[in-house]
A and B are shown apart, each in its own frame.
Chain A
Amino acid sequence: MASLALSFGSGAMTNSIADVKESDVIMVIGSNADTSHPTIGLRIHQAKNNGAKLLVVDPRRTGFADEADLWLRLNPGSDVALLNGMVHVILEEGLWDKKFVDDRTENFEELEIVTAKYTPAFVEQITGISEEQLRAAARLYASPGKKCAIFYGMGLAHHATGTDNVKSIANLAMLCGKLGMAGGGVNPLRGQNNVQGACDMGALFNTLPGYSGLESSDAFDRYEKMWQVKLPRRKGKAATEVWDAILDGDIKGLYIMGEDPVLADPNAHHAVAAIEKLDFLIVQDIFLTDTAKMADIVFPAACYAEKDGSFTCTERRVQRVRKAVEPPGEAKADWEIFCELSSRMGYEMDYEHPEEIFNEVIQLLPQYAGISYERIEKVGLQWPVPNREHPGTPVLHIGKFTQGRGLFIPEDYTPPTELPDVEYPLILTTIRKTPQYNFGSMTRKTPEIETLCPEAFAEINPEDAARLGIADLDEIEISSRRGEVQLRAKITDRSQVGTIAIPYHFAEVPVNNLTLNSLDRLSRSPQYKICAIKVCKVEA
């Protein structure tokens, strides 16, 4: 999200889900939407069945890879090199949209310079993708005059170079002029129901609500006037930086709403050690999570079915959440808890209903200015909605980018932080399974879901399995420099040779004991998708 904002002026999905039926070419990179966003995956498959060409870039043989017109099974973590290579070929073959680049972008020269060395031969060395495939992919995406959409997911973002990956995608799309039209665009798929909304609302260490940076004193003045309080203008700490700050003694108190870092954070041992050092931990959740068990105070929260409010989905559509049932026992909606706590701390928050909060939001966020509960009663609106008459914006950047001109930000390929070596010769990547969600605290309460997906398997390529003497369903131990887990093996060529994939939904297989807390330098996202591991069979 951070890098798309630098390139385009907005970090959100540029287009709409329904758009995909208008695409001539669909490029899916680092996303297995069939498992992470099933209803979006469905639309992509349907578009493919209706004649769109499908270009898939993924180390894993996903369902999309099976159906793709062209599937690039690149080496894990080599996306920047591949994308730069595509740019190189497109420039070389003159397939780019010169008018779009001239009229609407800046810093093109820099792109030419940086990508010059990404010759097909050089790219093949890094990515393992042949010149023939690279050229075919470049030609397919660039297809002059065609509408080409890019979809990407956490397979691209969850790397130490995640933002470089995203910038490179933005470069490619701008170069080929595939933005600002239905059926085109750059479309990040948000992993959770309200990632977009949480960002929009400014639950971020580096921006105020509505993406006003902390350096914007105009915004501060506006907020201070509205809230009648002096606001801190120092930069905050990203969630992933907080653990070190705790261990260094800088942070003493932590307030966690709805998160379970003991399971979710990369190199989870690190998070546990930090939590143990805290003076005071507040956890607000619907279940007593592993993190909540370590808290000093646990506030019981209402779940989505027990409160009113709104979510903003991946296509920027602001939609209502409605209270259907009462919360159990004395549980309260999160917003009510904040109101009560804030008032006790001397800053009055006196909201009677979430709609009152929303009405404050629309006064502060220009993107939301024209939205109201009344307007989204039946169908949600896609921001920006600058005024009460505005019908919403299904496609961003039509005619011009949010920030005026699109900015090419070419990046060089950096290898993943941790690569296989003699001691840890394999790569671990974490994946999702369709029936489960995140760490299973919600999905695993439904028996049918457990029947469909009861267990985490380590997905291992037949070649690796043969070499390691592992048979299907063997119990194996997987260890990294940070920890180990035990689970059963499933032999499948969905995993690339040299890579083992493990779903992260299962608390009994805490795969984040293995992962690396190496962070992207801009977004501070962790590198969940690559770390070095070794495997051994557990003798019965």
Chain B
Amino acid sequence: MTTVTLTINGAEIVAEAGLTILEVARRADIAIPTFCFVADKPADTPCQMCVVEVEGQAELIRSCVGLAKDGMVVTTESPKVVAHRVERLSILAETHFGDCKAPCNLTCPGQINVQGYIAHVAKGQYEEALRLVMERNPLPFSVGRVCPRFCETRCRRILVDEPVSINHLKRFVADWCMSHEIDLEIPKDAPTGKRIAVIGGGPSGLTAAHFLTRKGHDVTIFESSPMLGGALRYGFLEYRIPRDVLNYEINTILRLGVSVKLSQKWGKHFTLQSLKDQGYAAIYIATGAGVDVPLEVPGAVNPHTYSAMKYLRRMAEGKRPDMGNKAAVLGGNNIAMEVARTLIRQGVAEVTVIYPRSRIEMPAHQRNIREAEKEGVQFLLMASPVEICDAGDQGSRLKLDLIRIKLGEPNAKGVRQPETIAGTNSVLHVDSIVSSLGQLAVADTFSGGPLEKSITLSANKTIDANVRSSQINIDGVFAGGDAVSGPRSVIQAVVSARRAADNIHAFVMGISKDEGESRFNFTRGKGFDDVDLKNFDGINVKLREKMPTRPPERCSQDFNEVKLGFSEQMARSEAERCLSCGCTAFDRCHLKELSIDYNVNLNKTGMGAKPIYAKDFSHPAIVVDKNKCIFCGRCERVCEYDALELAAESFDDKGRPLGLSLRFNDNCVSCGKCVDNCSTGALNKKAQIIPVHNELVKNVRSTCPYCGAGCQIILRVKGGTVIEVTADPAQAPNYGALCVKGRFAHEFIQHKDRLTKPLIRKNGMLVETSWDEALDYTARKLFDLKASYGPDSIAGFSCARATNEENFLMQKFMRTSIGTNNIDHCARL
């Protein structure tokens, strides 16, 4: 073998003569990017990404064609090379049209793979759907019931009819897994030996405990109440989150192996110092925002005036304070709505919410306001309390003095502050008042010891924690959730806690935090106005499934759940409404990967604005979206059957194809190799509808279960599901080739018709039984037959699709346990 010696990126490499620079570099583990490269089949219109700089040559050369020569000095990432690649990528980006991630996904504060779990629901994979949700949100039962649903506001289906009922689907999968007693078998890393204390067992504390436990840490939650749940238990009453559901949800987290100490009050039973002294490597403060802003009007302190949190907690604990017949709720936030609806359920005949601005300006979600109103809550707007007095014997307990409000001139920030209108006082007779004027993390300062006192607070009485590191001003102490942000939605507490868990993990392990996901994202339009309606050609109107809901007049009478949940059929039907905006090639797109590597700025380059080509669903197993095609031509050149034709009518001034056509010829055998080789999401498998973001996917190498060719396959497994099957081009005996069965026909694995329990015939019917009964019965029957008629009265058929080990054992069983050579298999059939 003749060799050449060259230098690539400063390293001297001896290589076989006659190879290209690209090949030499690859063999030396030096990656050179390329879109179009297919071994032995050069592209007619090369992508030019593989250019390198060769010393002494003015022009960059394409490494896929340039031969490695003796003495060459090659640089693969010089500024000139990088500039060229950025230019190439920018040209492609300018017209690439599609969404990397779906808008729902991008809008969700939890960054949950929304499209992914909806797709799982559409496929009937509810367990997998929940597993995917739990990757980022361990509270799907609660969030599925109380989430303000940021995602649904951005759902593109609005442009066709109505958004997909995303949150109801989340609740459905959670409830389905609960009623089917599914153990998700969430994996846990090996124990790290690190102990972590979590103060507070509400949404934020539970979430942090969940993620930290998964990382292998030993977590203890310190909870001041006798039960876990925090705001989920004491902020939402049973009609929002039933107690059995909440307990199940909490237990799912605890089952991972979290220790819990209940009725442990911070500052009384323990302090930060005592936790540190006990050897906790980190402390996470997740005490929420449970302190009401006090009502500061004369007469506010009386036995019939409550703060919102105090009232809700009493109700949650089953102590029903006497609220009389008429109650006023002061404040317009979400908690005020919960209070009002709870008062109605308690039997208070007249409940009035009083708020100094208009309805649209109330901080509560409009959906909550509407629901309160439906249940009979009244609203007195543009009014503010002035004083509370004892009503004496005027038919009520209290007299609430109110004044009308107008909004003043906009201040410097453009905000119009409420101003009282003199002389508009009026009196409202009520028996009780609940104020919900906002919630704080702490009334004054934390107490318990010097460390507690030293905690830095923000102006609005929340803990001051670093946004990036989640650390507070004490080393090793972190905070998150409402304790830092003030009252927010549950999903926001979850996100904050998940980030904190990442930070705490990095801190205790002394490692740097995982780099966050890149925000690089192609989109078909950021706002609804930017989205071309041509995107929805051919999509028929199909309205969303209506959540079965108890009528307000009925549900306001008791504390049972208002919304009853989707049936399986409704969930499937709703999931099928998803437009699957995000790219299902998300995890394999080379264009995205290289654009991120080379810092392509889509704000500068721009991107495709409208679809030029309609999606083509005509192939039985493959969907074609030419709007994403970058004309690398790999699909055409990897096809071993010459069954795919990719062509362009002409090219624009930057060399991009116009009038693209991609055609499968009659000799296409649907083997799917073109899809596995697509540089973007232009080719997709119809069945692979679940985008994989940063979820863990296991690649399991195995052998195809069909014919005798012995093709090597790679099963791509997410959670407990085989999501796709591919092949390795370097692996004998098939070298990446598979037939349609090998690449597609694996849905039987997760098919609902699979046998899951032993069956036994009783009274002529096959009925389910236990393994013990089935095996004992079988052993006895075989034993009896042997005793009565001899071993040759029994025969066995082994199976040419079972493994060697199993065939070996079956013949061994027949020859030893039974004692016959009546063993054969179907090979001759």
Contacts and interface: CB of A to CB of B under 8 A. Distances in A.
Contacts of A435: 670, 740-741, 745
Interface residues of B, number: 108
Contact of A314 (B710, B757, B791): B710
Contact of A236 (B620, B669, B670, B823): B823
B711 interface: yes
B491 to A, nearest CB: 30
B719 to A, nearest CB: 9
Interface stretch (A103-111, A285-293, A466-474): A285-293
B811 interface: yes
Interface in A477-529: 520, 523-526, 528
B190 interface: no
B301 interface: no
Interface stretch (B222-230, B535-543, B769-777): B769-777
A287 B710 contact: no
A193 B704 contact: yes
Contacts of A197: 800, 803-804, 807
B705 A304 contact: yes
Interface string B682-719: 00001100000000001011111111111110010100
Contact of B706 (A193, A202, A288): A193
Interface stretch (A75-83, A85-93, A249-257, A401-409): A249-257
A42 B797 contact: no
A232 B824 contact: no
- The interface centre, meaning the residue of B641, B754, B820 with most chain A CB atoms within 10 A of its CB, is B754
A155 to B, nearest CB: 14
Given A194-B807, A197-B804, A259-B799, A313 B703 contact: yes
Given A205-B823, A295-B766, A301-B755, A313 B793 contact: no
A310 B755 contact: no
- The interface centre, meaning the residue of B709, B722, B825 with most chain A CB atoms within 10 A of its CB, is B709
A280 B671 contact: no
Contacts of A323: 700
Contacts of B792: 232, 234, 236, 250-251
Interface stretch (B163-171, B507-515, B731-739): B731-739
B739 A39 contact: yes
Interface string A198-235: 11111111101100001000000000000101111011
A341 B774 CA distance: 10
B813 interface: yes
A435 B814 CA distance: 35
A159 to B, nearest CB: 11
Interface stretch (A128-136, A326-334, A412-420): A326-334
A448 B708 contact: no
Interface in B710-762: 710-712, 715, 717, 720-722, 731-734, 737-742, 744-751, 753-761
A38 B671 contact: yes
Contact of B745 (A214, A254, A339, A443): A443
A255 to B, nearest CB: 4
Contacts of B698: 324
B761 A338 contact: no
A16 interface: yes
- The interface centre, meaning the residue of B621, B783, B802 with most chain A CB atoms within 10 A of its CB, is B802
Given A300-B758, A446-B687, A357 B797 contact: no
B274 interface: no
Contacts of B771: 330, 332, 340
A446 B748 contact: yes
A180 interface: no
Contacts of A314: 708-710
B621 A437 contact: no
A353 B710 CA distance: 22
- The interface centre, meaning the residue of A39, A452, A528 with most chain B CB atoms within 10 A of its CB, is A39
A313 B778 contact: no
A5 to B, nearest CB: 13
- The interface centre, meaning the residue of B706, B715, B782, B818 with most chain A CB atoms within 10 A of its CB, is B706
A321 B801 CA distance: 11
Contact of B759 (A264, A298, A436): A298
Contacts of B700: 305, 322-324
Contacts of A4: none
B564 interface: no
A496 B732 CA distance: 37
B800 A194 contact: yes
A342 B813 contact: yes
Contacts of B825: 195, 198-199, 203-204, 239, 259
B30 interface: no
A42 B737 contact: yes
A261 B797 CA distance: 10
B804 A200 contact: yes
B748 A282 contact: no
A300 B756 contact: yes
B737 A310 contact: no
Given A201-B807, A324-B715, A335-B806, A441 B761 contact: no
B829 A526 contact: yes
A458 to B, nearest CB: 22
A393 to B, nearest CB: 14
Contacts of A342: 809, 812-813, 816-817
Interface in A328-356: 328-335, 338-342, 344-347, 349, 351, 354
B731 A379 contact: yes
A324 B722 contact: yes
Interface string A252-287: 111111110100111000000000000110100111
Given A191-B707, A191-B708, A448-B686, A255 B797 contact: yes
A442 interface: yes
B811 to A, nearest CB: 5
A195 B802 CA distance: 9
Given A229-B816, A325-B720, A345-B779, A304 B702 contact: yes
A299 B811 CA distance: 17
Given A203-B807, A254-B794, A300-B758, A198 B799 contact: yes
Contacts of A189: 707-709
A328 B754 contact: yes
A252 B794 contact: yes
B774 A299 contact: yes
Nearest to A233: B821
A50 interface: no
B546 interface: no
Nearest to B671: A38
- The interface centre, meaning the residue of B706, B747, B755, B794 with most chain A CB atoms within 10 A of its CB, is B755
A347 B782 CA distance: 13
Contact of A204 (B750, B761, B824): B824
B809 A295 contact: no
Contacts of A196: 708
A291 to B, nearest CB: 10
- The interface centre, meaning the residue of A191, A317, A324, A328 with most chain B CB atoms within 10 A of its CB, is A324
Interface in B97-149: none
Contacts of A311: 703, 710, 803-804
A449 B824 contact: no
B271 interface: no
A374 to B, nearest CB: 15
Given A252-B785, A259-B797, A209 B745 contact: no
Contacts of A347: 813, 816-817
Given A293-B766, A322-B701, 13 more contacts: A192-B706, A194-B801, A264-B826, A287-B753, A287-B754, A300-B757, A311-B804, A314-B710, A321-B702, A324-B698, A334-B799, A347-B816, A441-B748
Interface of B: 185, 620-621, 640-641, 669-671, 686-687, 698, 700-712, 715, 717, 720-722, 731-734, 737-742, 744-751, 753-761, 766, 771, 774-779, 781-783, 785, 789, 791-829
14 contacts: A38-B709, A39-B709, A201-B811, A209-B811, A257-B810, A288-B755, A295-B759, A311-B703, A324-B702, A329-B756, A342-B812, A344-B775, A354-B803, A436-B741
